[in-house]
Chains A and B, each alone.
Chain A
């Protein structure tokens, strides 16, 4: 029983990261129909920036974190402007954008591979106190993650439901064509979407860099976990659906990691494939 709770607690801990990435991804895909593979790369940029500043240059944690998130935002907006813009303008469809996104991700990942000089992981930069309650180990940091995630999503919720841009974003989720006709300012909304999504991914990047450390391929891995979370939760309800999806996935991967430790990728992607086949619109779709 305690093992069950332990696995559960690990799962919920993971869910926080997955949710941050997944919500950003869902925001972009659900409104603009762009499969932003490079979202994982944005996440990494934040993490590496944070690591460089805090660990290599000794800048304090919070300033490094802020700069990390800022870098992520700049990267996300830049990719949209430099890569997706031209592809779309020249008649590329969803698929062409996807391939271009893949290209961008490959380039940035190559940069990290070169920079790390082949060294695979970035040493962790933070402490991980644990304390035991009823035989189950909890990490102090998990609460930190939870706090940040809750704050971020709380802010996102307010933004989606209380601001005019947020309203436009929700309109786009429902019907992008109609939204354009009705006069939603698609360009401004687009900037807002990429900004917020990238900021969330950046936050995740900073947290992961602090917590478990980074390696060049983590961008892709996190991205696809985010994708599965979105498919699980459905694209219709960006916040709730994705959080539900991420939590389920976090728990599922924790169990899979516990029961079949060598089959992590297999499990996650098999789930993804099965979901795509039977219910691409997700649990809440």
Chain B
């Protein structure tokens, strides 16, 4: 766990809102090609970590590094430029765009998105290539048949999958997924697993996800950390952490009826 030059590295982050300490001095590593999960009770601050990394607000202390470079000046609208992309718990897809358009609009560096690009042939070629890739991505979550349907008409679960695919389409090297399984029917969860395994890990991206669904974490994560009462109470290998007595007592006991 000492690879600091690739992926996401969170270094001694502390945060509080007013007098309430959210977390104190936490460090997390999410290396490339690996999935790092963060679990913990609601309100422990898991989404806050993502918000801080994406520049929604600054931490009280601590630093964030992407591929060894310290992040500064990142704001929610320029995260992709730093190689980061996040998904939201509430989906935020574009309802009037079709499913495939939702994916297409996420792809970077499109010549066709400017007025001059309308007239250059290169733009159209790029659009065709992008469409191919978008279809491929939709296939990975069994949404290809819904490609031309308005995203707003899709059921929540499919919208959630769409939002994950969209985040991936940005090409970001580091993905921050905020409860990707929340609200999904259990038959859709394997799609999330497939998506993360095939598209993300295979392409060498670093994934940091916060989750409540332990099953998903078990299937997909390479390493895990448990955030509780403002501190990381355990981290490391997935099975070892999940078997840890402290973790079971403090957190899993609430989630599982084990």
**Contact between chain A and chain B defined by CB under 8 Å:** no
Residues of B participating in the A interface, judged by any CB pair closer than 8 Å: none
Residues of A participating in the B interface, judged by any CB pair closer than 8 Å: none
